[in-house]
Amino acid sequence: MVLDILKSEDGRKAIAEAQSKASASSKGTGIKMLSEGDAQQIQTAVKEVLTDANSSKMLQEMITNPKFAGEYAKAIKSETKNLHKELIKDPEYQKELIQAMKNPEFQKMLTDVMKGTEYRQQTMSVMQDAIQSPLFRLELMNLLKQVMEEETKPKNQKEKSGKQGSSSGGNQASGKQGGGGGGGGS
């Protein structure tokens, strides 16, 4: 009798109306439409599926399905992002991450990737794109100007300190030269 009512025109209208109201109020999340008991049952079922050894193959198949994987990634995107932000702040996680990067196997893999033609082509493409940017060019020009100024400053300072040192230590130098020159000429 219930099936007959649901299949009737009035039943279909009532179901469609309830679905539209529920989706408008819950903004697409079907879990809010469930009662407390239903939500608990779903949580228990999910927990059993995830922890059951027999369902491992089924889960692997589901995760390799691109459509499911994409929808799942979208569903947990904000939680994953927050988790990564919190982990990066954790000093213990930072230490472990650095240790993993110092691992010789990781370094070898990274070096092999960087030696590859695809990586080099991508790097060249990025560099060419950056050089085309007027803002990057301006920044590069400022950096080059700073480098040129820094390179000329130490030479000028060395020359000034060298002149001061030679004038104050000139007697010592000339005394050594004179003694060395006199001994060499005899």
Predicted local confidence at residue 39, as pLDDT: 79
Please give the pLDDT value at position 92.
94
Query: What pLDDT, on the 0 to 100 scale, is given for residue 108?
Result: 94
Helices (H) and strands (E) in the chain, counts: 11, 0
Asked whether the beta carbons of 59 and 50 are under 8 A apart, the reply is yes
Record the pTM. Answer: 0.34
SS3 category, 8 = coil
pLDDT for res 99: 93
Please name the residue ranges forming H helices in 116-169.
117-132, 134-168
pLDDT over 90, % of the chain:
33
What residue ranges do the domains of the chain occupy?
58-102
Stretches in the chain below the pLDDT threshold 50: 28, 30-31, 168-186
